[in-house]
């Protein structure tokens, strides 16, 4: 009988420990998911900014290329 009570006490303690570990696990999982969502949003914003910057730089380079072509044409017409 005494041994049985000791075993019940151990089961109760182990059950409480297991519940605490499961709660910590859920809390950690929740925190990691929130962090992942924030990082994903930051990543998407960075990618969008890089695409915008790339488009802007491409436009500027094309404008510069057109200007250079026009200057070359005008120069060669002047020289010729």
Confidence (pLDDT) at 26: 98
pLDDT in tens, 55-64: 999 999 999 9
- Give the pTM: 0.65
Helix, strand, coil share (%) of the chain residues, nearest 5: 100, 0, 0
Name the CA dihedral angle for 18, 24, 26, 29, rounded to a multiple of 10 degrees: -140
pLDDT in tens, 25-51: 999 999 999 999 999 999 999 999 999
pLDDT reading at 80 higher than 80: no
Confidence (pLDDT) at 75: 82
**Distance of alpha carbon 38 from alpha carbon 36, whole angstroms:** 5
**Distance of alpha carbon 8 from alpha carbon 5, whole angstroms:** 5
Geometric angle at alpha carbon 70, from 64 and 71, rounded to 5°: 90
């Amino acid at each position: 009988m005494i041994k049985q009570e000791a075993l019940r006490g151990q089961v109760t303690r182990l059950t409480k420990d297991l519940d605490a570990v499961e709660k910590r696990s859920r809390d950690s999982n929740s925190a990691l998911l929130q962090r992942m969502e924030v990082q994903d949003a930051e990543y998407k914003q960075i990618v969008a900014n890089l695409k915008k910057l790339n488009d802007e730089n491409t436009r500027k380079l094309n404008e510069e290329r057109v200007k250079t072509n026009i200057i070359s044409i005008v120069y060669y017409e002047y020289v010729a």
